Chains A and B, each alone.
Chain A
Amino acid sequence: MAETHSLQDIRQQASVAAKVFIQRDYTNGTMCQFQTKFPSELESRIDKQQFEETLRMLNNLYAEAEKLGGQSYVEGCLACLTAYTIFLCMETHYEKVLKKIAKYIQEQNDKIYAPRGLLLTDPIERGLRVVEITIFEDRSTGSGR
Protein backbone atom coordinates (compact mmCIF):
# COMPACT_ATOMS: atom_id res chain seq x y z
CA MET A 1 0.00 0.00 0.00
CA ALA A 2 2.89 2.30 0.76
CA GLU A 3 4.10 2.11 -2.82
CA THR A 4 0.81 3.20 -4.25
CA HIS A 5 0.88 6.34 -2.16
CA SER A 6 1.11 9.23 -4.52
CA LEU A 7 4.48 10.91 -4.52
CA GLN A 8 2.61 14.14 -4.03
CA ASP A 9 1.84 12.88 -0.54
CA ILE A 10 5.58 12.54 0.02
CA ARG A 11 6.16 16.00 -1.37
CA GLN A 12 3.49 17.36 0.91
CA GLN A 13 5.15 15.79 3.89
CA ALA A 14 8.54 17.08 2.76
CA SER A 15 8.46 20.74 3.61
CA VAL A 16 10.38 23.42 1.82
CA ALA A 17 13.69 24.11 3.50
CA ALA A 18 14.88 26.95 1.30
CA LYS A 19 14.64 28.51 -2.12
CA VAL A 20 17.52 29.63 -4.25
CA PHE A 21 17.08 32.14 -7.05
CA ILE A 22 19.46 32.10 -9.98
CA GLN A 23 19.57 35.61 -11.36
CA ARG A 24 19.83 36.79 -14.91
CA ASP A 25 23.18 37.34 -16.57
CA TYR A 26 23.18 40.64 -18.47
CA THR A 27 26.75 40.64 -19.71
CA ASN A 28 25.60 40.07 -23.28
CA GLY A 29 22.83 42.62 -23.19
CA THR A 30 19.15 42.11 -22.60
CA MET A 31 19.13 38.57 -24.01
CA CYS A 32 17.62 36.03 -21.65
CA GLN A 33 20.60 34.28 -20.04
CA PHE A 34 21.03 33.02 -16.50
CA GLN A 35 24.10 33.04 -14.33
CA THR A 36 25.82 29.68 -14.20
CA LYS A 37 27.52 30.34 -10.88
CA PHE A 38 26.91 27.39 -8.56
CA PRO A 39 25.04 28.53 -5.42
CA SER A 40 26.50 27.42 -2.11
CA GLU A 41 23.13 26.20 -0.80
CA LEU A 42 23.14 23.41 -3.35
CA GLU A 43 26.62 22.15 -2.58
CA SER A 44 25.36 19.30 -0.48
CA ARG A 45 22.60 18.31 -2.84
CA ILE A 46 23.84 18.21 -6.39
CA ASP A 47 26.96 17.94 -8.47
CA LYS A 48 28.31 21.26 -9.71
CA GLN A 49 28.86 19.90 -13.21
CA GLN A 50 25.30 18.66 -13.43
CA PHE A 51 23.89 21.97 -12.34
CA GLU A 52 26.04 23.98 -14.72
CA GLU A 53 25.12 21.63 -17.55
CA THR A 54 21.43 22.22 -16.89
CA LEU A 55 21.85 25.97 -16.85
CA ARG A 56 24.05 25.97 -19.92
CA MET A 57 21.41 24.00 -21.80
CA LEU A 58 18.73 26.42 -20.65
CA ASN A 59 20.83 29.37 -21.78
CA ASN A 60 21.34 27.76 -25.17
CA LEU A 61 17.63 27.20 -25.56
CA TYR A 62 16.81 30.80 -24.72
CA ALA A 63 19.51 32.00 -27.09
CA GLU A 64 17.90 29.88 -29.78
CA ALA A 65 14.53 31.45 -29.04
CA GLU A 66 15.88 34.99 -29.31
CA LYS A 67 18.26 34.42 -32.18
CA LEU A 68 18.26 37.15 -34.80
CA GLY A 69 18.65 35.30 -38.01
CA GLY A 70 17.01 34.34 -41.23
CA GLN A 71 14.08 32.61 -39.60
CA SER A 72 13.15 35.45 -37.29
CA TYR A 73 13.40 37.98 -40.12
CA VAL A 74 11.19 35.90 -42.40
CA GLU A 75 8.69 35.39 -39.62
CA GLY A 76 8.70 39.11 -38.82
CA CYS A 77 8.24 40.24 -42.41
CA LEU A 78 5.53 37.69 -43.15
CA ALA A 79 3.68 38.67 -39.98
CA CYS A 80 3.95 42.36 -40.89
CA LEU A 81 2.52 41.75 -44.34
CA THR A 82 -0.50 40.02 -42.84
CA ALA A 83 -0.88 42.80 -40.23
CA TYR A 84 0.16 40.25 -37.58
CA THR A 85 -3.07 38.32 -38.00
CA ILE A 86 -0.96 35.29 -38.83
CA PHE A 87 -0.13 34.95 -35.14
CA LEU A 88 -3.75 34.12 -34.47
CA CYS A 89 -3.30 30.75 -36.14
CA MET A 90 0.45 30.20 -36.04
CA GLU A 91 2.69 29.71 -33.06
CA THR A 92 5.71 31.98 -32.93
CA HIS A 93 9.21 30.53 -32.94
CA TYR A 94 9.73 31.80 -29.40
CA GLU A 95 6.63 29.97 -28.16
CA LYS A 96 7.81 26.75 -29.77
CA VAL A 97 11.15 27.02 -28.00
CA LEU A 98 9.41 27.82 -24.70
CA LYS A 99 7.58 24.52 -25.00
CA LYS A 100 10.90 22.77 -25.55
CA ILE A 101 12.25 24.49 -22.46
CA ALA A 102 9.25 23.41 -20.38
CA LYS A 103 9.77 19.83 -21.51
CA TYR A 104 13.49 19.99 -20.77
CA ILE A 105 12.89 21.33 -17.26
CA GLN A 106 10.35 18.63 -16.57
CA GLU A 107 12.81 16.02 -17.77
CA GLN A 108 15.59 17.42 -15.61
CA ASN A 109 13.28 17.52 -12.61
CA ASP A 110 12.19 13.94 -13.11
CA LYS A 111 15.64 12.50 -13.74
CA ILE A 112 18.04 14.58 -11.73
CA TYR A 113 16.55 17.13 -9.36
CA ALA A 114 13.56 15.42 -7.79
CA PRO A 115 15.53 12.40 -6.58
CA ARG A 116 17.84 14.85 -4.83
CA GLY A 117 15.00 16.73 -3.17
CA LEU A 118 15.22 19.73 -5.45
CA LEU A 119 12.80 21.31 -7.86
CA LEU A 120 13.43 23.63 -10.76
CA THR A 121 10.70 26.11 -11.59
CA ASP A 122 10.33 27.17 -15.20
CA PRO A 123 11.61 30.78 -15.43
CA ILE A 124 8.57 31.79 -17.48
CA GLU A 125 6.52 31.42 -14.32
CA ARG A 126 8.71 34.08 -12.70
CA GLY A 127 8.63 36.54 -15.57
CA LEU A 128 11.91 35.21 -17.02
CA ARG A 129 13.67 36.93 -14.14
CA VAL A 130 15.01 34.03 -12.09
CA VAL A 131 15.38 30.28 -12.07
CA GLU A 132 13.83 29.29 -8.77
CA ILE A 133 15.20 26.14 -7.15
CA THR A 134 13.18 24.81 -4.24
CA ILE A 135 15.17 22.78 -1.74
CA PHE A 136 13.10 20.29 0.18
CA GLU A 137 13.87 19.27 3.71
CA ASP A 138 15.70 16.02 4.00
CA ARG A 139 13.66 13.29 5.69
CA SER A 140 16.14 10.84 7.12
CA THR A 141 15.18 7.45 8.58
CA GLY A 142 13.30 7.63 11.81
CA SER A 143 11.88 11.08 11.39
CA GLY A 144 8.22 11.70 11.05
CA ARG A 145 7.07 8.98 13.42
Chain B
Amino acid sequence: MSAVMVSRKVTRKWEKLPGKNTFCCDGRVMMARQKGVFYLTLFLIIGTCALFFAFECPYLAVHLSPAVPMFAAVLFLFVVAMLLRTSFSDPGVLPRALPEEATFIEMEIEAANGSVPAGQRPPPRIRNVQINSQIVKLKYCYTCKIFRPPRASHCSICDNCVERFDHHCPWVGNCVGKRNYRYFYLFTLSLSLLTIYIFAFDIVHVVMRSVDSGFVSTLKESPGTVVEVVICFFTLWSVVGLTGFHTYLISLNQTTNEDIKGSWSGKNRLQNPYSHKNIMRNCCEVLCGPAYPSVLDRRGLLLEKPGTLAIQLASKTSGLELQIAKAKAAAFLRKQSCDDAEYSGPSSTWSSASLKERVSTVKGRSPIAKENGPTPKSKSINPTETISNSKEQDPTPKEKASALKERVSCSKEKRQSSKEQGPPPKEKASAPPLASPDDLTDTFLEKERVH
Protein backbone atom coordinates (compact mmCIF):
# COMPACT_ATOMS: atom_id res chain seq x y z
CA MET B 1 0.00 0.00 0.00
CA SER B 2 1.30 3.39 -0.82
CA ALA B 3 1.70 6.00 1.84
CA VAL B 4 -0.70 8.86 1.48
CA MET B 5 0.81 12.09 2.68
CA VAL B 6 -1.57 14.89 3.31
CA SER B 7 0.46 18.02 3.65
CA ARG B 8 -1.42 20.90 5.16
CA LYS B 9 -0.44 24.45 5.70
CA VAL B 10 -0.76 25.15 9.40
CA THR B 11 -1.56 28.68 10.43
CA ARG B 12 -2.00 30.07 13.88
CA LYS B 13 -4.99 32.08 14.94
CA TRP B 14 -3.09 35.35 15.27
CA GLU B 15 -2.67 35.41 11.51
CA LYS B 16 -6.42 35.64 11.03
CA LEU B 17 -7.27 37.97 13.90
CA PRO B 18 -9.11 41.10 12.82
CA GLY B 19 -7.83 44.43 14.05
CA LYS B 20 -4.76 46.43 13.22
CA ASN B 21 -2.23 44.78 15.49
CA THR B 22 1.12 43.41 14.44
CA PHE B 23 2.31 40.13 15.86
CA CYS B 24 5.85 38.87 16.29
CA CYS B 25 7.52 35.66 17.47
CA ASP B 26 4.71 33.53 16.04
CA GLY B 27 1.97 35.28 17.98
CA ARG B 28 3.74 35.65 21.31
CA VAL B 29 4.23 39.40 20.89
CA MET B 30 1.35 41.76 20.15
CA MET B 31 1.80 45.43 19.33
CA ALA B 32 0.14 48.28 17.50
CA ARG B 33 0.92 48.97 13.89
CA GLN B 34 2.97 52.15 14.38
CA LYS B 35 6.07 51.26 16.32
CA GLY B 36 8.35 54.17 15.43
CA VAL B 37 7.86 56.05 18.69
CA PHE B 38 8.39 52.85 20.67
CA TYR B 39 11.79 52.39 19.05
CA LEU B 40 12.57 56.00 19.96
CA THR B 41 11.65 55.33 23.60
CA LEU B 42 13.85 52.26 23.66
CA PHE B 43 16.70 54.13 22.02
CA LEU B 44 16.49 57.02 24.46
CA ILE B 45 16.45 54.77 27.52
CA ILE B 46 19.22 52.46 26.38
CA GLY B 47 21.27 55.29 24.93
CA THR B 48 21.10 57.43 28.06
CA CYS B 49 21.92 54.52 30.35
CA ALA B 50 24.78 53.46 28.11
CA LEU B 51 26.25 56.95 28.36
CA PHE B 52 25.77 56.91 32.13
CA PHE B 53 27.58 53.58 32.48
CA ALA B 54 30.35 54.74 30.16
CA PHE B 55 31.04 58.20 31.54
CA GLU B 56 29.75 58.48 35.09
CA CYS B 57 29.93 55.03 36.57
CA PRO B 58 33.69 54.41 36.40
CA TYR B 59 34.33 57.65 38.29
CA LEU B 60 31.50 57.26 40.79
CA ALA B 61 32.25 53.60 41.49
CA VAL B 62 35.74 54.56 42.54
CA HIS B 63 35.15 57.89 44.22
CA LEU B 64 31.76 57.22 45.79
CA SER B 65 30.62 53.62 45.97
CA PRO B 66 30.24 50.63 43.65
CA ALA B 67 26.64 50.43 44.78
CA VAL B 68 25.84 53.41 42.58
CA PRO B 69 26.27 51.67 39.20
CA MET B 70 24.88 48.44 40.60
CA PHE B 71 21.62 50.04 41.65
CA ALA B 72 21.48 51.89 38.33
CA ALA B 73 21.86 48.59 36.48
CA VAL B 74 19.06 46.96 38.46
CA LEU B 75 16.80 49.93 37.89
CA PHE B 76 17.64 50.01 34.18
CA LEU B 77 16.82 46.31 33.78
CA PHE B 78 13.52 46.78 35.63
CA VAL B 79 12.56 49.72 33.40
CA VAL B 80 13.30 47.80 30.21
CA ALA B 81 11.45 44.72 31.50
CA MET B 82 8.37 46.79 32.31
CA LEU B 83 8.50 48.59 28.98
CA LEU B 84 8.74 45.35 27.03
CA ARG B 85 6.02 43.77 29.12
CA THR B 86 3.68 46.71 28.47
CA SER B 87 4.46 46.86 24.79
CA PHE B 88 4.36 43.18 23.98
CA SER B 89 1.37 41.97 25.96
CA ASP B 90 -2.28 41.80 25.07
CA PRO B 91 -3.87 44.85 26.76
CA GLY B 92 -7.16 43.00 27.26
CA VAL B 93 -8.55 42.85 23.75
CA LEU B 94 -12.08 41.51 23.48
CA PRO B 95 -12.53 39.08 20.60
CA ARG B 96 -15.22 40.04 18.14
CA ALA B 97 -18.57 38.31 18.27
CA LEU B 98 -19.01 35.24 16.12
CA PRO B 99 -21.88 35.37 13.59
CA GLU B 100 -24.37 33.48 15.78
CA GLU B 101 -23.70 35.65 18.77
CA ALA B 102 -23.97 38.81 16.66
CA THR B 103 -27.30 37.63 15.23
CA PHE B 104 -28.57 36.76 18.69
CA ILE B 105 -27.74 40.23 19.98
CA GLU B 106 -29.33 41.87 16.92
CA MET B 107 -32.50 39.92 17.52
CA GLU B 108 -32.55 41.03 21.15
CA ILE B 109 -32.07 44.64 20.11
CA GLU B 110 -34.88 44.46 17.57
CA ALA B 111 -37.13 42.84 20.13
CA ALA B 112 -36.34 45.59 22.61
CA ASN B 113 -36.78 48.46 20.15
CA GLY B 114 -39.87 47.13 18.44
CA SER B 115 -40.63 48.11 14.88
CA VAL B 116 -39.19 51.38 13.69
CA PRO B 117 -41.32 53.29 11.16
CA ALA B 118 -39.66 53.64 7.77
CA GLY B 119 -37.62 56.80 7.37
CA GLN B 120 -36.97 57.18 11.08
CA ARG B 121 -33.55 56.61 12.56
CA PRO B 122 -33.47 53.58 14.85
CA PRO B 123 -32.81 54.42 18.49
CA PRO B 124 -29.17 54.21 19.65
CA ARG B 125 -28.12 50.80 20.81
CA ILE B 126 -27.63 51.20 24.52
CA ARG B 127 -28.13 48.85 27.40
CA ASN B 128 -28.55 50.18 30.91
CA VAL B 129 -27.12 48.24 33.80
CA GLN B 130 -27.09 49.09 37.43
CA ILE B 131 -23.71 48.80 39.04
CA ASN B 132 -23.52 49.50 42.77
CA SER B 133 -26.68 51.62 42.59
CA GLN B 134 -25.36 53.65 39.66
CA ILE B 135 -26.87 53.43 36.18
CA VAL B 136 -24.14 52.74 33.62
CA LYS B 137 -24.82 52.79 29.90
CA LEU B 138 -23.30 50.01 27.83
CA LYS B 139 -22.74 51.04 24.25
CA TYR B 140 -22.96 48.75 21.26
CA CYS B 141 -19.79 48.43 19.19
CA TYR B 142 -20.65 48.23 15.49
CA THR B 143 -17.21 46.93 14.60
CA CYS B 144 -17.01 44.15 17.13
CA LYS B 145 -20.79 43.54 17.18
CA ILE B 146 -20.97 43.35 20.95
CA PHE B 147 -22.26 45.45 23.77
CA ARG B 148 -19.08 46.72 25.33
CA PRO B 149 -18.59 45.70 28.95
CA PRO B 150 -18.39 48.60 31.40
CA ARG B 151 -15.08 50.50 31.19
CA ALA B 152 -14.26 48.94 27.84
CA SER B 153 -13.65 51.15 24.85
CA HIS B 154 -12.86 50.69 21.20
CA CYS B 155 -9.39 51.80 20.20
CA SER B 156 -9.55 53.23 16.70
CA ILE B 157 -5.79 52.91 16.20
CA CYS B 158 -5.73 49.20 16.95
CA ASP B 159 -9.34 48.62 15.86
CA ASN B 160 -10.11 46.49 18.91
CA CYS B 161 -12.37 46.76 21.91
CA VAL B 162 -10.14 46.75 24.97
CA GLU B 163 -11.29 46.01 28.50
CA ARG B 164 -10.75 48.73 31.09
CA PHE B 165 -9.34 50.87 28.30
CA ASP B 166 -6.99 53.53 29.63
CA HIS B 167 -5.43 55.06 26.53
CA HIS B 168 -3.39 54.18 23.47
CA CYS B 169 0.22 55.03 24.22
CA PRO B 170 2.45 55.60 21.18
CA TRP B 171 5.54 55.64 23.43
CA VAL B 172 5.01 51.99 24.26
CA GLY B 173 3.47 51.19 20.90
CA ASN B 174 0.38 49.52 22.35
CA CYS B 175 -2.93 50.18 24.06
CA VAL B 176 -2.94 50.34 27.84
CA GLY B 177 -5.82 48.32 29.23
CA LYS B 178 -6.81 45.91 31.93
CA ARG B 179 -4.01 43.44 31.45
CA ASN B 180 -1.04 45.73 31.08
CA TYR B 181 -1.98 48.81 33.10
CA ARG B 182 0.10 47.81 36.10
CA TYR B 183 3.14 47.20 33.92
CA PHE B 184 2.63 50.61 32.32
CA TYR B 185 2.38 52.27 35.72
CA LEU B 186 5.49 50.50 37.01
CA PHE B 187 7.28 51.49 33.82
CA THR B 188 6.50 55.18 34.30
CA LEU B 189 7.30 54.97 38.01
CA SER B 190 10.62 53.20 37.54
CA LEU B 191 11.53 55.42 34.60
CA SER B 192 10.89 58.48 36.79
CA LEU B 193 13.17 57.01 39.44
CA LEU B 194 15.82 56.16 36.86
CA THR B 195 15.66 59.63 35.34
CA ILE B 196 15.93 61.31 38.75
CA TYR B 197 18.75 58.94 39.70
CA ILE B 198 20.78 59.59 36.56
CA PHE B 199 20.13 63.33 36.74
CA ALA B 200 21.18 63.47 40.38
CA PHE B 201 24.36 61.49 39.89
CA ASP B 202 25.25 63.47 36.79
CA ILE B 203 25.18 66.59 38.92
CA VAL B 204 27.16 64.88 41.68
CA HIS B 205 29.72 63.67 39.14
CA VAL B 206 30.13 67.10 37.55
CA VAL B 207 30.45 68.78 40.95
CA MET B 208 33.00 66.26 42.22
CA ARG B 209 35.07 66.45 39.08
CA SER B 210 34.86 70.23 38.85
CA VAL B 211 36.40 70.49 42.31
CA ASP B 212 39.43 68.66 40.98
CA SER B 213 39.76 69.84 37.40
CA GLY B 214 37.40 72.74 36.80
CA PHE B 215 33.96 72.94 35.31
CA VAL B 216 34.76 73.42 31.64
CA SER B 217 37.39 70.70 31.47
CA THR B 218 34.98 68.32 33.24
CA LEU B 219 32.44 68.88 30.53
CA LYS B 220 35.09 68.38 27.89
CA GLU B 221 36.26 65.12 29.47
CA SER B 222 32.78 63.63 29.70
CA PRO B 223 30.59 64.97 26.89
CA GLY B 224 28.09 62.23 27.59
CA THR B 225 27.11 64.01 30.77
CA VAL B 226 25.80 66.98 28.83
CA VAL B 227 23.64 64.78 26.62
CA GLU B 228 22.33 62.88 29.63
CA VAL B 229 21.47 66.01 31.55
CA VAL B 230 19.56 67.47 28.62
CA ILE B 231 17.59 64.25 28.02
CA CYS B 232 16.89 63.74 31.71
CA PHE B 233 15.77 67.31 32.19
CA PHE B 234 13.10 67.09 29.51
CA THR B 235 12.11 63.54 30.43
CA LEU B 236 11.71 64.44 34.09
CA TRP B 237 8.92 66.90 33.53
CA SER B 238 6.86 64.62 31.31
CA VAL B 239 7.44 61.25 32.96
CA VAL B 240 7.24 62.39 36.55
CA GLY B 241 4.12 64.35 35.70
CA LEU B 242 2.60 61.29 34.04
CA THR B 243 3.45 59.09 37.02
CA GLY B 244 1.81 61.57 39.35
CA PHE B 245 -1.29 61.70 37.18
CA HIS B 246 -1.61 57.92 37.08
CA THR B 247 -1.05 57.66 40.82
CA TYR B 248 -4.01 59.99 41.23
CA LEU B 249 -6.10 57.89 38.84
CA ILE B 250 -5.21 54.66 40.60
CA SER B 251 -6.12 56.05 44.00
CA LEU B 252 -9.56 56.86 42.61
CA ASN B 253 -9.81 53.67 40.50
CA GLN B 254 -10.41 55.62 37.30
CA THR B 255 -9.05 55.27 33.81
CA THR B 256 -7.57 58.06 31.68
CA ASN B 257 -10.45 57.54 29.27
CA GLU B 258 -13.01 58.14 32.03
CA ASP B 259 -11.09 61.11 33.32
CA ILE B 260 -10.95 62.75 29.90
CA LYS B 261 -14.64 62.15 29.26
CA GLY B 262 -15.52 63.31 32.75
CA SER B 263 -17.59 60.19 33.38
CA TRP B 264 -17.33 60.37 37.15
CA SER B 265 -16.68 64.06 37.64
CA GLY B 266 -19.58 64.34 40.05
CA LYS B 267 -21.83 66.09 37.55
CA ASN B 268 -25.43 64.86 37.72
CA ARG B 269 -24.50 63.02 40.92
CA LEU B 270 -22.50 60.47 38.98
CA GLN B 271 -20.09 58.75 41.31
CA ASN B 272 -17.53 56.19 40.30
CA PRO B 273 -19.20 52.85 41.01
CA TYR B 274 -15.94 50.92 40.73
CA SER B 275 -14.08 52.77 43.44
CA HIS B 276 -13.80 51.12 46.83
CA LYS B 277 -13.85 54.60 48.42
CA ASN B 278 -10.55 53.69 50.06
CA ILE B 279 -7.25 54.73 48.49
CA MET B 280 -5.32 51.70 49.74
CA ARG B 281 -7.92 49.26 48.45
CA ASN B 282 -8.05 50.97 45.11
CA CYS B 283 -4.28 50.84 44.76
CA CYS B 284 -4.19 47.21 45.82
CA GLU B 285 -6.85 46.26 43.33
CA VAL B 286 -5.18 47.93 40.38
CA LEU B 287 -1.58 47.02 41.18
CA CYS B 288 -1.87 43.76 43.10
CA GLY B 289 -5.06 42.38 41.65
CA PRO B 290 -5.24 39.02 39.87
CA ALA B 291 -3.25 38.59 36.68
CA TYR B 292 -5.99 38.36 34.07
CA PRO B 293 -5.37 35.86 31.28
CA SER B 294 -5.60 36.80 27.64
CA VAL B 295 -8.88 35.70 26.06
CA LEU B 296 -7.41 36.02 22.58
CA ASP B 297 -6.10 32.65 21.64
CA ARG B 298 -3.21 33.86 19.52
CA ARG B 299 -1.17 30.70 19.32
CA GLY B 300 -3.92 28.17 18.66
CA LEU B 301 -3.75 26.34 15.36
CA LEU B 302 -5.96 26.91 12.34
CA LEU B 303 -6.13 24.45 9.48
CA GLU B 304 -6.36 25.66 5.88
CA LYS B 305 -9.23 24.79 3.54
CA PRO B 306 -9.21 21.31 2.02
CA GLY B 307 -8.93 22.95 -1.42
CA THR B 308 -5.35 23.73 -0.54
CA LEU B 309 -4.66 20.24 0.72
CA ALA B 310 -2.02 18.60 -1.35
CA ILE B 311 -2.72 14.93 -1.28
CA GLN B 312 0.50 13.41 -2.41
CA LEU B 313 0.58 9.80 -3.31
CA ALA B 314 3.93 8.13 -2.85
CA SER B 315 3.44 5.68 -5.67
CA LYS B 316 1.06 4.83 -8.47
CA THR B 317 -2.40 4.63 -7.07
CA SER B 318 -4.68 1.81 -7.78
CA GLY B 319 -8.39 2.34 -7.53
CA LEU B 320 -8.44 0.70 -4.10
CA GLU B 321 -5.68 2.92 -2.74
CA LEU B 322 -7.44 6.01 -4.03
CA GLN B 323 -10.60 4.86 -2.32
CA ILE B 324 -8.70 4.38 0.95
CA ALA B 325 -7.11 7.79 0.58
CA LYS B 326 -10.48 9.40 -0.02
CA ALA B 327 -12.00 7.54 2.92
CA LYS B 328 -9.22 8.79 5.20
CA ALA B 329 -9.69 12.33 3.99
CA ALA B 330 -13.42 12.07 4.49
CA ALA B 331 -12.98 10.73 8.01
CA PHE B 332 -10.61 13.54 8.70
CA LEU B 333 -13.08 16.09 7.35
CA ARG B 334 -15.92 14.50 9.26
CA LYS B 335 -13.91 14.85 12.44
CA GLN B 336 -13.26 18.52 11.65
CA SER B 337 -16.90 19.25 10.97
CA CYS B 338 -17.78 17.50 14.21
CA ASP B 339 -15.43 19.85 15.98
CA ASP B 340 -17.11 22.72 14.20
CA ALA B 341 -20.56 21.64 15.25
CA GLU B 342 -20.09 21.14 18.90
CA TYR B 343 -17.38 20.88 21.41
CA SER B 344 -13.66 20.90 21.31
CA GLY B 345 -10.73 19.69 23.29
CA PRO B 346 -11.09 18.29 26.72
CA SER B 347 -14.82 18.88 26.82
CA SER B 348 -15.33 16.61 23.84
CA THR B 349 -13.29 13.59 24.66
CA TRP B 350 -15.63 10.80 23.86
CA SER B 351 -12.99 8.15 24.25
CA SER B 352 -13.59 4.87 22.58
CA ALA B 353 -13.31 3.12 25.92
CA SER B 354 -16.32 4.91 27.36
CA LEU B 355 -18.40 4.83 24.19
CA LYS B 356 -20.35 1.73 25.11
CA GLU B 357 -20.86 3.04 28.61
CA ARG B 358 -22.19 6.36 27.34
CA VAL B 359 -24.47 4.82 24.78
CA SER B 360 -25.98 2.50 27.39
CA THR B 361 -26.35 5.39 29.83
CA VAL B 362 -28.17 7.46 27.26
CA LYS B 363 -30.28 4.48 26.29
CA GLY B 364 -31.12 3.93 29.94
CA ARG B 365 -32.02 7.57 30.43
CA SER B 366 -34.24 8.11 27.44
CA PRO B 367 -37.33 6.29 28.69
CA ILE B 368 -36.94 8.03 32.08
CA ALA B 369 -36.56 11.39 30.42
CA LYS B 370 -39.68 10.78 28.40
CA GLU B 371 -41.61 10.03 31.59
CA ASN B 372 -40.27 13.00 33.51
CA GLY B 373 -40.38 15.50 30.68
CA PRO B 374 -41.95 18.77 31.80
CA THR B 375 -43.73 19.30 28.48
CA PRO B 376 -45.10 16.81 26.03
CA LYS B 377 -42.57 18.02 23.49
CA SER B 378 -39.56 16.99 25.52
CA LYS B 379 -37.57 14.24 23.98
CA SER B 380 -34.06 13.10 24.43
CA ILE B 381 -31.63 12.21 21.74
CA ASN B 382 -31.80 8.48 21.20
CA PRO B 383 -28.48 7.71 19.59
CA THR B 384 -28.90 4.02 19.02
CA GLU B 385 -32.13 4.61 17.15
CA THR B 386 -30.45 7.33 15.15
CA ILE B 387 -27.65 4.99 14.20
CA SER B 388 -29.91 2.17 13.16
CA ASN B 389 -32.13 4.50 11.18
CA SER B 390 -29.51 6.27 9.17
CA LYS B 391 -29.21 3.77 6.37
CA GLU B 392 -28.26 6.07 3.56
CA GLN B 393 -25.46 7.50 5.66
CA ASP B 394 -23.98 4.09 6.31
CA PRO B 395 -20.37 4.19 5.28
CA THR B 396 -18.56 1.17 3.93
CA PRO B 397 -16.88 -1.07 6.51
CA LYS B 398 -13.46 0.22 5.41
CA GLU B 399 -14.54 3.82 5.87
CA LYS B 400 -16.08 3.02 9.25
CA ALA B 401 -12.88 1.41 10.46
CA SER B 402 -10.66 4.22 9.29
CA ALA B 403 -13.08 6.83 10.62
CA LEU B 404 -13.06 5.17 14.02
CA LYS B 405 -9.28 4.95 14.05
CA GLU B 406 -8.99 8.63 13.22
CA ARG B 407 -11.46 9.57 15.88
CA VAL B 408 -9.84 7.51 18.60
CA SER B 409 -6.40 8.84 17.82
CA CYS B 410 -7.73 12.38 17.69
CA SER B 411 -9.56 12.07 20.98
CA LYS B 412 -6.36 10.69 22.55
CA GLU B 413 -4.47 13.68 21.23
CA LYS B 414 -7.05 16.05 22.61
CA ARG B 415 -6.99 14.42 26.02
CA GLN B 416 -3.29 15.11 26.17
CA SER B 417 -3.66 18.79 25.51
CA SER B 418 -4.47 20.39 28.81
CA LYS B 419 -4.90 24.06 28.06
CA GLU B 420 -8.02 25.94 27.08
CA GLN B 421 -9.50 25.86 23.63
CA GLY B 422 -9.58 28.85 21.37
CA PRO B 423 -12.74 30.26 19.85
CA PRO B 424 -14.45 28.05 17.33
CA PRO B 425 -14.28 28.65 13.62
CA LYS B 426 -15.98 31.74 12.32
CA GLU B 427 -17.77 29.79 9.61
CA LYS B 428 -20.96 27.82 9.91
CA ALA B 429 -21.71 26.44 13.31
CA SER B 430 -23.74 23.48 12.23
CA ALA B 431 -22.01 20.76 10.31
CA PRO B 432 -24.20 19.02 7.79
CA PRO B 433 -23.36 15.35 7.48
CA LEU B 434 -20.86 14.77 4.75
CA ALA B 435 -22.53 13.46 1.66
CA SER B 436 -19.67 11.63 0.08
CA PRO B 437 -15.97 11.12 0.49
CA ASP B 438 -15.49 12.79 -2.88
CA ASP B 439 -16.68 16.10 -1.55
CA LEU B 440 -13.40 17.67 -0.55
CA THR B 441 -14.24 21.21 -1.35
CA ASP B 442 -16.17 22.14 1.80
CA THR B 443 -14.64 24.91 3.82
CA PHE B 444 -13.67 24.00 7.31
CA LEU B 445 -11.45 25.17 10.05
CA GLU B 446 -9.91 23.10 12.76
CA LYS B 447 -8.64 24.18 16.10
CA GLU B 448 -6.06 22.46 18.16
CA ARG B 449 -4.47 23.59 21.30
CA VAL B 450 -0.74 23.64 21.37
CA HIS B 451 1.24 23.65 24.54
A and B bound? yes
The chain B residue sitting closest to A76, CB to CB, is B288
A138-B295 contact, Cβ under 8 Å, with A13-B393, A121-B343, A127-B423: no
Q: Does B150 make an interface contact (CB < 8 A)?
A: yes
The chain A residue sitting closest to B161, CB to CB, is A127
On whether the beta carbons of B346 and A29 are closer than 8 Å, the reply is no
A127-B407 contact, Cβ under 8 Å, with A83-B77, A102-B420, A139-B381: no
On whether the beta carbons of B389 and A145 are closer than 8 Å, the reply is yes
- In the complex, what residues of A have CB within 8 A of residue B378's CB? 44-45
- For the complex formed, measure the closest distance between the CB of A66 and the CB atoms of chain B, giving whole angstroms: 5
On whether the beta carbons of B290 and A127 are closer than 8 Å, the reply is no
Complex alpha-carbon distance, A55 and B134, angstroms: 25
- For the complex formed, measure the closest distance between the CB of B98 and the CB atoms of chain A, giving whole angstroms: 8
On whether the beta carbons of A10 and B290 are closer than 8 Å, the reply is no
- For the complex formed, measure the closest distance between the CB of A97 and the CB atoms of chain B, giving whole angstroms: 9
Complex alpha-carbon distance, A65 and B434, angstroms: 42
For this complex, into which size category does the number of interface residues on chain B fall?
35 or more
For chain A, what secondary structure do more than half of its interface residues adopt (helix, strand, loop), or is it mixed? Answer: mixed
- In the complex, what residues of A have CB within 8 A of residue B101's CB? 19, 21, 126, 129-130, 132
Pick the residue among A3, A121, A128, A139 that contacts B385 (CB under 8 A).
A139
Q: Does A103 make an interface contact (CB < 8 A)?
A: yes
On whether the beta carbons of B285 and A8 are closer than 8 Å, the reply is no
- In the complex, what residues of B have CB within 8 A of residue A121's CB? 343, 424
On whether the beta carbons of B81 and A125 are closer than 8 Å, the reply is no
Complex alpha-carbon distance, A9 and B399, angstroms: 13
Besides A6-B352, A10-B386, A98-B420, 20 other CB < 8 A contacts? A3-B360, A6-B404, A7-B359, A9-B334, A10-B387, A12-B334, A26-B131, A26-B150, A29-B132, A29-B150, A72-B289, A80-B186, A85-B81, A87-B291, A95-B293, A109-B347, A120-B347, A125-B420, A125-B422, A139-B385
Q: List 5 A-B contacts (CB under 8 A).
A: A12-B334, A13-B433, A21-B104, A24-B149, A43-B374
Q: Give me the interface of A with B, judged by CB distance under 8 Å.
A: 1-16, 19-21, 24, 26-30, 43-45, 47, 65-68, 72-73, 75-77, 79-80, 83-85, 87, 92-95, 98-99, 102-103, 105-106, 109, 115-117, 119-122, 124-130, 132, 134, 136, 138-145
